[in-house]
Amino acid sequence: MSEDSPTWPQQPAEHTTPLESFETVGPGSSGGGGPRRRSVIGAVAVVVVAMLGGGAYAAYSFLDGGGPEPAEVLPASTLAALSVDLDPSASQKIAAIRSIRKFPALKKTLGLQADDDLRRFAFDKIVDGHCGKLDFEHDVKPWLGKRAALAAVDLGGQNPVPVVALQISDHDKAQAGFQALVDCTDPKDFGFAVGQDYLVASDSADHARTVLAQGEAKPLSDDATYRRWTTAAGDPGVVSFYVGPGAARYGERLLDDAGSNLFDSGRGSFSFAEGSSGFQPLPDASSDADPRVSAKGALAHFRGLAGTVRFSGGGMELSVAGGGVNQLQGLATIGPDVSDLPGDTAAAVGFGVGKDYAKQLVEAFTSLADLTSLENQTGLDLPDDLQTPLGSGVTLSLGGHAPHSLSDVAGPEDVPAGVVLHGDPDQIQAVITKVEQRLGMQLSDIPMDVQGSGHKLAISTGGYGPELLKDGTLGSARGFRDAVPEADRAGAILYVDFDSAWRDALARELTTEGGTSAADFDANTKPLHTLGLSSWVDGDTFHGLLKITTD
């Protein structure tokens, strides 16, 4: 949606598709029904959830379909949408098939089901054995398409209305088949309308008709903000989602409601306080000490986001792009530091640190606890004594050398792991010494080694420190490059190498304990190669990428 979310009337005065082309049906309009009442909005959502839950599986057996996307039917006033597409591009079908065939658990599932069986599963969940006269093959299969969406749409009311959009292949059969579901389940607060390519269900027939009409007049797919973020997220995949900037104002209202209603009995909001025997009042919502204030401030800057799950190359990826995520704007680049880790790194986490990062952390902590007490316990002078060790970034890593079995790990000295603080080693050591003296214990008592060189200070176990202080080769490893393709500009990175000896040690440990789950773990993790989760900022656009690669 545009930056200024439109406010729509409850009923459109004029639209390009005549209302007569819509067949709008509410509960009980054609008789039938029964004493068992439940929400069909929730039941119909099972269709979408089933598609999402079986998304990887369904990628194996796409049927030819095409037709309009849900965004071409939903209106521009849509605040949020989650859609599934079981007929993406041919290249993704091939990538999906290649990836899925590597996993025994998925191959087993694929051998038992086909795509229509997945839709039958959703049908069975909806009718729940109470609609004996309905037949999936006759009443559902002939009209249910390959695309669907769950959405929240702003129709100008106090709250957004829930919407389920199902792609259909036959208008008349969809009308009859879905009406049969309505008559059987006898829902409350429910109605639907059938358009040319989609069936739309909502909490009333009028709302369903309005959504279809407004989607015809001004679809979400034409909205500039929607196009911006979906384009930034990259090529569409099997599952896509969108959250518009207008959703932020509902989030702010929810925060206000939480402040006034949570544990509220006319006496204000309450929470447990450490060392108290009862409840203590939370700060007033207008106070800067209230965490709701910072949360509402973050929502105020939100400009929307979009994401997609797609198959690519030898695995799967989730790509997200959005604007107004200010908490990530100030992070320093950490990718080069993670790339400098040892080449056999089994797992690593890294995040860049901005110049005011410690101040922001302290301000957030102050809203939740007593800062003076923390300073007294640790001997730290905050935020300066926090910013110093954080430096320009922090990396944590686990070395690739693993014991034969996890049961062989007797203590920290058996695990090559460590944290590298990227800053001035002497200044960082001074802060560590201050804390050690106040607490009356040394890191060497754990035992942990503290070693510095250049612009690094490593705190490590298992004699891993010297390796961490060297210029490593992780960044040149193919698995790392595949999983973290934007490492050079990433402000935060999570990386896991599934081909490391640690996976093998875990598999052996589970196998020793016995059971089918151990064999399943081994068989279904062997095809995995690497996992990467990274984020970066390009101008005013935030990007997040989760990649899972296979051997």
pLDDT tens-digit map of 144-169: 888 999 999 999 988 899 999 999 99
- In 3-state terms the chain splits into helix, strand, coil percentages (rounded to 5) of 40, 25, 35
- Does the residue 10 lie in any domain? no
**pLDDT > 90: what percent of the chain?**
48
Q: Same domain for 353 and 271?
A: no
Residues near 114 by beta carbon (within 8 Å), at least 6 away in sequence: 61
pLDDT tens-digit map of 97-142: 666 666 665 555 554 343 445 567 677 777 777 777 788 888 888 9
Q: Same domain for 360 and 482?
A: yes
Is 546's pLDDT higher than 70?
A: yes
Q: Same domain for 40 and 186?
A: yes
- Does the residue 4 lie in any domain? no
Is 274's pLDDT higher than 50?
A: no
What residues make up the domain containing 404?
A: 325-550
**Tally of structural domains, the chain:** 3
Last residue of a domain, one of 245, 278, 303: 245
> Which of 217-226, 314-323, 405-414 has the highest average model confidence (pLDDT)?
217-226
Q: What is the mean pLDDT of the chain?
A: 79
SS3 166: strand
Tokens 């990718």 correspond to what residue?
Answer: 335
Q: Same domain for 386 and 486?
A: yes
Is 418's pLDDT higher than 90?
A: yes
- Does the residue 6 lie in any domain? no
pTM score, whole prediction: 0.79
At 378, which helix (H) or strand (E)? helix 371-378
Last residue of a domain, one of 245, 279, 309: 245
* 417 in Cβ contact with 346 (< 8 Å): no
Residues near 516 by beta carbon (within 8 Å), at least 6 away in sequence: none
pLDDT of residue 51: 47
Model confidence band, residue 318 (pLDDT cutoffs 50, 70, 90): very high
Q: Same domain for 185 and 276?
A: no
- Does the residue 376 lie in any domain? yes
- Does the residue 78 lie in any domain? yes
Q: Same domain for 93 and 221?
A: yes
Model confidence band, residue 285 (pLDDT cutoffs 50, 70, 90): very low
Q: Same domain for 281 and 373?
A: no
- Does the residue 239 lie in any domain? yes
Distance CA 193, CA 254 (A): 30
- Does the residue 234 lie in any domain? yes
**pLDDT > 70: what percent of the chain?**
70
Q: Same domain for 147 and 283?
A: no
Q: Same domain for 473 and 363?
A: yes
Q: Same domain for 108 and 183?
A: yes
Of 47-56, 80-89, 267-276, 285-294, the one with minimum mean pLDDT is 267-276
Q: Same domain for 227 and 361?
A: no
Distance CA 177, CA 165 (A): 15
pLDDT of residue 326: 60
Q: Same domain for 291 and 365?
A: no
- Does the residue 12 lie in any domain? no
Last residue of a domain, one of 180, 210, 245: 245
